[in-house]
Amino acid sequence: MAVRVQREDFDVTAETEKLVGGRRDIGAVVTFTGRVRGEDDGRAVATLTLEHYPDMTEAEMARIEAEALARWPLQASLVVHRVGELHAGDNIVLVITASAHREAAFEAAGFLMDYLKTRAPFWKKETTPDGASTWVEARAEDDSAADRWR
């Protein structure tokens, strides 16, 4: 069980192997990777800059992960979130959940992403190819997605 905030990219295969390699009690591994889209609401996006609240980010991600562990029988989990300047096509976030059976792994991965999007203190700023930048607004759909776990 681990959470990490980092500037550098992550390698999904290597992270998965590190988390579950050699384990014989895990029958299901779900990995989710969030990536930078090259357009958002019809606007072209050249770069996405992610700002966060150091210390609170890790604390909040750990609280979210602990809640997932209390709800589902997970054998292992990992959340990695990148910060700094990212480009279209770059990885942003990685969630890995591992359990004996698939249902817990699928559900916990969805829960972790929904809660990360509504609770973890990250903010995205988009810059278009012509250099104009705007802060991304929170989406009501993300709140309703998180609400379904209540």
Q: CA-CA distance, 37 to 44, in Å (whole number)?
A: 9
Of 26 and 122, which has the nearer Cβ to other proteins? Answer: 122
Of 15 and 40, which has the nearer Cβ to other proteins? Answer: 40
CB 146 within 8 A of CB 114: yes
Handedness of CA 44, 37, 113, 86 (dihedral sign): negative
Q: CA-CA distance, 123 to 61, in Å (whole number)?
A: 15
> Min. distance of Cβ 96 from other proteins in angstroms?
15
> Min. distance of Cβ 142 from other proteins in angstroms?
8
> Min. distance of Cβ 143 from other proteins in angstroms?
9
Of 23 and 66, which has the nearer Cβ to other proteins? Answer: 66
Q: CA-CA distance, 133 to 137, in Å (whole number)?
A: 12
Which residues of the chain form contacts with other proteins (CB under 8 A)? Answer: 34, 50-53, 55-56, 59-60, 81, 92-93, 113, 116-125, 135-138, 142
Of 8 and 137, which has the nearer Cβ to other proteins? Answer: 137
> Min. distance of Cβ 63 from other proteins in angstroms?
9
